[in-house]
Structures are given as structure tokens and as C-alpha cells.
Amino acid sequence: MAVMTTRWSSHETTFWCSLLAALLSACHGVPPPIARPPAAWVVQTDRGPVAGKVDGQRQVRAFLGIPFAAPPTGERRWRAPALPDLWTSVRDASRVGPAYPQVNVPPYATTSEDCLTLNVWVPIGGAARKPVLVYLPGGAFVEGSGGYQLYDGARLASREDAVVVTTNYRIGALGFLGHALLATEAGVPANPSFGLLDQRAALAWVQRNIARFEGDPALVTLFGQSAGAWSVCAHLAMPMSRGLFARAVMQSGACAGPLYFGPEEARTQGEAFMRALGCQDLACMRAAPVERVLRALPTKRGYVVSPGVWWGPVVDGRLLPVVPLEALRRGTAAPVPLLVGWNRDEGKIHAAFPGAMTEEERDGFVRDSFGDRAVGPVAARYARPTTNASFAELMTDGGFACQARRAARAFAAQGNPVFVYELTHALESPRLHDFGATHSVELWLLFGNEEAGIALADSERPLSYAMMDAWGRFARSGDPASASLTWPRYTAANDISLIWDSSPGLATGVKSETCAFWDQFERPIR
């Protein structure tokens, strides 16, 4: 089994540090032997025993790199996840597993197709049954891993007396390819998204096992950022995911838009992928080296500018019956409390990475994302001194803020508890400060860790703790408010949001006029 390591160029490193849509060892074959681990570190899962490690500074036990599914390699490539083999000897769970194959990874990470693992952090002491926070990482459905350093769950788990779980899932073509041959093989009109099935398998693992790690399976909160938030909304709409989580958090992600594919779109892109790979059947595709799979269809420049492709969940009609926003509107989504929000300057990083943009490139993004009829009105409304400045603002509004507000209004209209926020705090780190409250900065606040030379200043710790505490209260009760933090439920009538900054406060009508403009443009899927 091959393990692939990729070095970043300085340009790619700068992008990762900023964007985190590019977020951000060994594999889980025969577990290496470990010498007489203390009994308190060993947990018997439903597939076999695992031995974690103790973080004495933060008073947590960490169980890392636990396989929740069999390796999706060889004949298992482009198939639904299966249970891993049983093991009897104590398995070393002191290191995270590899990330799923992708073009860019942090210098400390490795990648492998054998990567369907998850990580669990358990506070030492505290409640006998703790709420559970399961995190789905972002990365534009082409990058990222639950094992990256930014997502270390020790600080969040310790402060909130909660069990924190982070997970991997298949990404890119390996996780979201749609093709007629795959549908025929599965006996369905359109094949499901294997990445979504992986996420569901991780949630099922949590239901079967988390009580053994002192977690309460009835108090599972599914939270994600960027592509992870798109995924959370997919699970709200997926009948097969019903009952696997009790609360949902969507950070800088949406329930509609170009990252969801209709069957026709997915099939067309799948055929182009097969041609680019030089294959005519599934056997050839499954035998292709993973490096060729990764590069068969290049992604869009900066994940936004054509030419190139996106990858994302397929609305196949069965696993994902409809675009998630429609499920929220129809009342067929899981009726759980929802916390949803965006960052004030989401688009600044997205506009910075592709380099100088032309008006044609900006208009191409708008056409791809919102349809032909949006191009003229958007260009007129977002006329700015530079095309990049125009793009930064339209991406913030059309790509994130108004998508989140639309989902909140639809879900709240069905009587579900919804809480909306906007983050306006710019990290003090000089590597990110000039980008303002841009895409992904809340991850440093929620997890409290350092990544890529970016760390919280001491003065930012109170805000970090306040956000952790709100997410922790939401996980326990479905309500993030407290005596010291007023945060009313959102309704279309009150249109109220919490503004996260050094001194959090409430605001009404945030983006209301702007979103009335954007609500005209919803991209249909085919």
C-alpha cells in the first residue's frame, strides 16, 4: 500500500494558511504492538480494543487514527464504506491517520487511500455522560483532514467537558464522482456520493461506540466548516442520517449552490473524468494510480476561477433526495436545533489566492454559481475599483452570508430552533489580520490551536472561550445562550443575529437588503 507525501510550494503554503479551503502515520492495516498500556487508556470498540494517550496539560485522553471503515482501496474504490476487519490485540491509537489523497497537504501530514479513520478526545473526569461534538473538516471537497493540527480537539473537549470527534472522508473524484457505470453497478439511477456515505459511517460508529468513551449518543452535535458545513446540511436532508445526531452547526457553508451536483451534471463530469483518465471501464479506473486520479481533471484556479472543475455532493434522488435547501423549505429535513453563520470578510481570501482576476473570470464564476441571469445585475451592483475587490464582496454576500441567511429563514419557518451569527473579529496574527474576519478564522477561536504559524494572541482568548462555551452549551441543550450571552432564536420576523467580536452583541437586519438582492438568484441543478 502506497503512502504519498507532498511538499508545498511557498505559494501553496500561503494559500493554505489563509484559506483553509485548502486545509488543512501510517495506515490502519495490522496495528503495531504496544507494550502493556495502562488499562485506563484502553477502550474496547465494537471492532477491537484501542489504546490512546494522555494529554496531562489539558487533562484529556486522545484516541487517534481509529478506523471506522475498511480501506476503500482496490475493488473497494468507488464503493460504499464497509466495516473494518475485527482485531483482537490492543491497537495503538496514539497518532492520527493519514489524510485522504489530495494535491496539497501540510508538511507534517501524509496521504493514503487507506484513510477512513477518526479521532476522539475525552476529558479526564467530569460528567459520566458527556455531549459529543463531531467535526467535519472543510477543504472545498478536494482538500483537508480531520487529523490536521488546527482541529486537535483537546482544548475544546477539556473546556466544555465534551467528547470531541474529528473524522476523514473521501474527497475529490474519489469521494464525489458520479458515473453511469457506477450507478449501473449499484443498481440505481444515479450513484450516491461516497464521501457522504463515509461521513454517515463515521456518525454510525459514534452511535455504536461513543458511550464507551463517556459520550452520550443522544447528545451528538454535527458541526462543520466550509465544505464541512455543506456536508452538515446534506445530512440534515438525508433520510439515512436521521437519528445519528441531535444538533447541527454550519459555519461558513450553504444548503444550495454550485457544490451540489444534479445527476446530469455529475454524469457529464464523470464521463469527462473517465476520458481524462484514459479508461473505458471501472476495472481500469480502480487500477489507476491515485496520482493520476488526483490530476485527471484539474480544479478551478483558487477553487473559483475557470477552467477546471468543482467536486461536491450529488443529489442522486435516494441518499440525497433533493437539494438540501429544498428539504429545509419542505419540512422534510431532520428537525434539530441549528446554529448557522458566516464571517464578515469571507471573500477576501478567495479573491487573493487566484491572483489578478479579469471581469470575464469574475462573470464566469457568477454564471457557474448563480446562473446566466445573475451576471449583469451582479456586475452592476458590485462595480469596484478592481475586479478582485468586486469578487471579494460578491463572494462574501452571494457565496456565504446570504446562503446561510436563506437556510436559517427556511429552517426557522418550519418551527425549528435556529441561531444565527456573524463573526466580525479579525485575528491579530499578522499573517491573517489584513484579511479581516475572513474565511476560516473562527477555527482558531473554536479549537484554540496554532496552525501554519498562526496562533491566538492572549487578548483573543476570552473571545475564544466565549465561542467554545456557546458551542458547548448548544451541544448540551440545543441553546447557545447563557446568563452572560443573550442570543435569541432567529425568525424571519426578528431577523436577529449575534455579532461575534471582542464584545459580542446583537444586531437585527444584518444583510437584509443585500440578501433580498441575492435571493433572486438560485442556481438550479441538472
| Cβ atoms of residues 133 and 246 within 8 Å | no
What are the residues whose beta carbons fall under 8 Å from the beta carbon of 287, sequence distance 6 or more?
none
Tell me the sheet residues that pair with 103.
none
Torsion 288-294-298-299 (CA) sign: positive
* CA dihedral for 413, 250, 141, 335, sign (positive or negative): negative
Note if the bond before 307 is cis, omega within 30 degrees: yes
CB 135 within 8 A of CB 145: no
Backbone φ and ψ of 155, nearest 5°: -65, -45
* Neighbour tally for 61: CB within 10 Å: 22
Q: What angle do CA 300, 304, 306 make, to 5 degrees?
A: 50
The question of whether 346 is a catalytic residue gets the answer yes
- What CA–CA distance (Å, rounded) separates 205 from 301? 36
Question: Catalytic: which of 143, 214, 265, 346?
Answer: 346
Three-state DSSP at 414 gives coil
Residue 235 bears catalytic tag = no
439 is catalytic: yes
Q: Which of 18, 158, 193, 226 is catalytic?
A: 226
Strand positions, DSSP E, 68-168: 91-92, 117-123, 130-136, 163-167
Catalytic residue among 193, 422, 439, 464: 439
**What φ, ψ does residue 35 adopt, rounded to 5°?**
-90, 110
Q: What gap in Å lies between CA 497 and CA 255, rounded to an integer?
A: 19
Alpha helices, H only, 193-345: 194-209, 227-237, 263-277, 282-287, 290-295, 324-330
The catalytic residue positions are 226, 346, 439
